[in-house]
Amino acid sequence: MAQNLRGALVGFCNPLLDISAVVDDSLLAEYKLKANDAIMASPEHLPLFQTLIDKYNAAFLPGGSAQNTLRGAQRLLPEDSAVFFGAVGNDENAQRLKGAADKAKLRTNYMVSQTKPTGTCALLITGKNRSMVANLSAAETYDFSHVQAPENWKDIEAARFYYITGFFFAVSPDTIEAVAKHAHDNNKTFTMNLSAPFVAEFFTAQVEKTLPYINILFGNETEADALARALKFDTGDIKQIAKRVADLPRAGSRPRLVVFTQGSESTVIASSDSDEIRVYGVTEVPDAEVGDTNGAGDAFVAGFLSQYMQEQPLDTCVDAGHWLAGQVVRQIGPNYPETELKFVPTADFAPTVEKL
């Protein structure tokens, strides 16, 4: 009998309309941006958004990290499996975001700001790199009272899996805490993404407070390094970092998985209930087929969770994450192929197992 996953996955993040353009290094230098980074916009960055539109043939794409993830996960899950929460403005850009979610059959539960426009994210693409500058606007108005409302909290009660990005620490830490504790109290699965190096650097206290409740933590190599520095680890080795984070105190008895991707390099997984480190090779997408790498990390989590929710083995979860990320990097922006997405597990896909 098929598993009932109706409303099983709830996600929170900042829904943003991406303004994406291929640029040259001089524009990055002008705004003091790194080629592969994610930051919040400061006042000096605000002219950048119009510059991309006026001078760089920018494309408008549906974005927001967790919304990207849930769009992808829903494509691989039974109908009405996922619900996304976040704040948008009462404007055309909000309708663009909802349209993209509707196309993926992702249900949205937006809080609508009447005073601020829908948030945007500038995506500056240089080769395989992408630099992200987020202007949250309406997204930063998300208020805990929205999810507390009985008509919205019922989605939390109905779900069994939760995914929140680290970006949301800057918006509604109260929401993160409430959902994390609900998951813990009801033996449900709470997952988070480190999202960007600045999250561990500037929200260290909030990250440390939430870590005991996290059952699965996702991140990439730069985010792992930032977390290690924030927690004052004496190592920069990604395998050591993964295991030490996995072994940090937990609120309950459930083991914690730590999943660190490294782009086209290997994916590293550590668990609190094992002294083994699992290292998974990645099949690299040929350069000629790469659109850009924006959204690859979001897609990895989408593929992973889609299989984890269906109680598939860990190897299959990683295989699906790699596969879906590979589909996205062949597109421009954080988009999924228009054609039907059907994951077929790779024969003999397995990690190298190491002991620290």
Which residues are identified as catalytic? 298
Decide: 311 and 3 in contact? Cβ < 8 Å: yes
State CA 317 to chain mean position distance. Answer: 16
Residue 138 dihedral angles phi and psi, to the nearest 5°: -60, -35
Residue type, 242: A
Report the SS3 class of residue 1: coil
Match 């690299």 to its residue by tokens: 284
In angstroms, the CA 205 to CA 199 distance is 10
Structure tokens at 64: 């927001």
Burial code (b: 16+ CB inside 10 Å, e: under 16) for 208-220 equals: eebbebbbbbbbb
Which residues is 16 bridged to in the sheet?
119
Q: Where are the alpha helices (DSSP H) in the chain?
A: 25-30, 46-55, 65-76, 92-103, 144-148, 150-158, 173-185, 197-202, 204-210, 221-230, 238-246, 296-308, 314-328
Beta strands 119-126 and 129-135 are antiparallel
Decide: 235 and 228 in contact? Cβ < 8 Å: yes
In angstroms, the CA 83 to CA 101 distance is 10
